[in-house]
């Protein structure tokens, strides 16, 4: 009797990262994409049913999350259910089956000074083993709680923190896609220049996650946290200028402003750059420079519509 081939389950398959994972699959194993319509990660029974066939050679890639940072401030219960309880439910299932779990988290787990705070600003990228402190947002607090609950339930799981993820297509709701639309609609735009991070192209992150999920890396970063972003760090203002340059527009049409000029329900960190040293140390391929990735995102051909 032939052994069943391994399966990689993509949880949160309907989101931007889940979509990129499906498009960039490099595995010879079967891939099962699970969207929120197929699996409610907040419901332990739903998780158990969807992962009923999970085996010890299988991998679960979790990119499901409540990511609306501002909405989470007034929807804390739902954010906690998705970001904390969901990963724990998945971890219980993978621990029981002795399958592998790779969970995507965020730079927002670090307390870091808010962009509107006075005083000295951090300038050194965060390492995975640094004390996170108490995150200033509901989103960050629930994602941190999810990391802890997941690793407690499945001590062999891997947490991959990333930041500022975008797809960048002309219709994408993310920052890069929004800048492309605003360039076509306005003479000038104002973009905050006091928040620094590492823009991460969803396609590049997907490629990195597939490398981590490969059987050759089955014992890589087990029970650990690693950071994966495109190389380099910039402000949102600099990203916007880059977008304008890529579409052939004058970057001088982008004007810098402060976070205080555009208050939001959730405070934004002044500095949330993640160090990629842990990713490289694990023997994984570093993600390329953010500017090279931005060029690839903006010049990527639009997907065909059936």
Residues labelled catalytic:
139
What DSSP character marks residue 135? -
Gap between the Cα atoms of 2 and 5, Å rounded: 9
What DSSP character marks residue 105? E
* Cβ proximity of 260 and 149 under 8 Å: no
Backbone φ, ψ for residue 266 (5° rounding): -105, 135
Q: Is 264 helix (H, G, I), strand (E, B) or coil?
A: coil
For the chain, helix, strand, coil in percent to 5 are: 40, 15, 45
Backbone φ, ψ for residue 176 (5° rounding): -65, -45
Backbone φ, ψ for residue 59 (5° rounding): -125, 135
């Amino acid at each position: 009797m032939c052994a069943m081939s391994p399966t990689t389950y993509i949880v949160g398959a309907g989101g931007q990262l889940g979509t990129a994972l499906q498009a960039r699959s490099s595995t010879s194993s079967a891939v099962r994409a699970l969207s929120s319509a197929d699996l409610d990660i907040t419901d332990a029974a739903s998780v158990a049913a969807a992962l009923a066939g999970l085996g010890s050679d299988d991998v679960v890639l979790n990119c499901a999350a409540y990511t609306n940072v501002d909405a989470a401030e007034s929807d804390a219960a739902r954010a906690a259910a998705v970001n904390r309880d969901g990963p724990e439910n998945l971890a219980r299932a993978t621990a029981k089956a002795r399958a592998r779990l790779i969970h995507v988290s965020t730079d927002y787990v670090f307390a870091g000074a808010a962009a509107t705070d006075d005083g000295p600003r951090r300038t050194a990228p965060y390492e995975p083993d640094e004390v996170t402190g108490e995150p200033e947002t509901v989103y960050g607090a629930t994602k941190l709680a999810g990391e802890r609950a997941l690793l407690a339930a499945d001590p062999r799981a891997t947490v991959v923190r990333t930041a500022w993820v975008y797809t960048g297509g002309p219709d994408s709701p993310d920052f890069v896609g929004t800048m492309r639309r605003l360039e076509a609609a306005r003479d000038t735009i104002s973009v905050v220049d006091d928040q620094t991070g590492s823009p991460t192209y969803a396609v590049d992150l997907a490629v990195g996650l597939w490398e981590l999920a490969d059987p050759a890396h089955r014992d890589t970063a087990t029970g650990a946290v690693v950071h994966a972003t495109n190389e380099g760090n910039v402000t949102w203002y600099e990203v916007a200028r880059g977008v304008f340059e890529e579409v052939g527009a004058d970057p001088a049409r982008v004007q810098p402003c402060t976070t205080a000029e555009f208050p939001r329900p959730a405070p934004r960190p002044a500095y949330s750059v993640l160090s990629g040293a842990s990713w490289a140390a694990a023997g994984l391929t570093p993600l390329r420079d953010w500017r090279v990735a931005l060029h690839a995102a903006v010049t990527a051909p639009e997907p065909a519509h059936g």
